[in-house]
Each structure stands twice: as C-alpha cells, then as structure tokens.
Amino acid sequence: MEYRYAKNCNYEDFASGRVLYNINRVPNFPVRLINEIYGRCLEYSHKKKDICLYDCCCGGGYSLTVLGLLNQNSISKIIASDIDYDMLDVAKLNLSLLSKEGINRRISEINSLYEQFNKESHMNAIKSAKKLSNLIQTDINTHIFQANAFEDIQMDIKPDIIITDVPYGNLVDWQGGEDEVSLLLQSLMKVCNNETIIAVTMNKSQKIRCDAFQRLEKQNIGKRHFEIYKLK
C-alpha cells in the first residue's frame, strides 16, 4: 500500500509507555498507519474541519490520542467508548494529554521519575513530551464513556469519522457479543448519519457483510487489514 498522507518519519515520541500510557500492555497500532487511515477517511469525508472522531472500541485511547496530536487542524472533538472500565481509565489518562494542562502534568510526572531514578529513558520521555506539547495548538473536546458496541450506544452527536481497531482473538477478545465485525457495523448504523465515514481495522480472517453500507476501500498491510465504509 502506498502511503498518501502519513509521512515516513520517526514516530518514537509517540511510543507507547514513553509519554502515552500503556498500562494494560495492549499492543498499539502503528502510528503511521493509523494516521494514513485517518487521512483517507478525511479524503472521503465531506467535512474537512471540525471533525468529530469516534472509536467504539477505544481500548487505552492510544490511537485516538495519536490522531488528536497529529491532526490538530481538522479534529475538534474526540469520543471514546469501550466495554471495559479498566481500558477506559487508561483512555482518560491518554486523552488528557491532548490539553496543555494534561501534557504539563505528564511532564511533571516523568520529571519526578527522573529525579527519583535518574534513568536515561525518563530523560528521553521528557524530551518527547515537550515535542508532543509543541504539537498542541487547539483544545480538542473529549468525551469518554462505557458502552458495549453491539448494544445501544448512547450518543447525542453523529460522528464525522469512526475509526476502530476491533478485538483480534487471543490478545483482546470481544466481550458481550459474537466474533462478528458485521454485527458491529450494523450496530454503528444507529450512531452515524449518511455522511459518516467508518474505518474498521481487523485481521485478515475477519469479514464484513452489511448491506446497508458501501465499501469505499479495502487494504492489506502486512498481517493487518482495514476497510472504509459509508452508508448507502
């Protein structure tokens, strides 16, 4: 796959566990790839600014936080939900890094670790946190709540873009539903409007069949697979 939007550069400042939190040890999505998926969704979207971005399986909010930091010009609101309260605790911490106040708090936190342990990794993390802080130009509004993505998701706003990285078997399992990405898409119908663009990333064995949606794109990259949809 040719990258059209996300630059081939060093994304180590975003490394999970460095400045962004990775308390649950969930493997994180590659930064360049998630940003490319967002770029493609934005290309399909009729709206190019003031984007409301939603992830219904947000986990620790890693991907959403990375997207918020890298797309300050287009994203104005981020909505995150997950079935698991422990994941949501981490998502709250990560999404708080999108504000100057939150990133400054994180810098103080890493500073105290550096003073305590004098480790080079903490010094590098402080440098990264300052670089991430410099990316923040706008106040992205965030909303985080618990929801089973197969059931009624209570949202009073229709997101412009939904990007979700669904559970993939042995590491993170579906809870409260069958292993069926098609059912997820059906459930998302209720929270989107005719303009909402939905990107689902999954492994190659997972298949989507949902007549209400038209597929705009599908791509394989290594062992990952993503598809982009909108309502017919």
Ligand X SMILES: C[S@@+](CC[C@H](N)C(=O)[O-])C[C@H]1O[C@@H](n2cnc3c(N)ncnc32)[C@H](O)[C@@H]1O
223 and 65 Cβ atoms separated by less than 8 Å = no
The whole-angstrom separation of Cα 232 and Cα 220 is 23
Tokens of 176: 């409260």
Residue closest to 159 by CA, chosen among 69, 72, 70, 45 = 45
* 38 binds ligand X per the rule CB under 6 A: no
* 58 binds ligand X per the rule CB under 6 A: yes
CB of 200 to ligand X, least distance (A): 11
* 60 binds ligand X per the rule CB under 6 A: yes
87 and 24 Cβ atoms separated by less than 8 Å = yes
* 84 binds ligand X per the rule CB under 6 A: yes
* 176 binds ligand X per the rule CB under 6 A: yes
* Residue number closest to ligand X, CB atom: 59
CB of 172 to ligand X, least distance (A): 4
Q: Which of 36, 51, 53, 59 binds ligand X (CB under 6 A)?
A: 59
CB of 93 to ligand X, least distance (A): 12
* 53 binds ligand X per the rule CB under 6 A: no
* 87 binds ligand X per the rule CB under 6 A: yes
Q: If binding means CB under 6 A, how many residues of this protein chain bind ligand X?
A: 25
Residue closest to 217 by CA, chosen among 204, 206, 230, 205 = 230
* 159 binds ligand X per the rule CB under 6 A: no
End-to-end distance of the chain based on CA atoms, in angstroms?
A: 26
Sheet with 213-221: strands ordered across:
141-146, 75-82, 51-55, 161-165, 197-203, 224-231, 213-221
* 183 binds ligand X per the rule CB under 6 A: no
Residues forming the site for ligand X (CB under 6 A): 26, 28-29, 56-63, 82-84, 87, 148-150, 165, 167, 172, 174-177
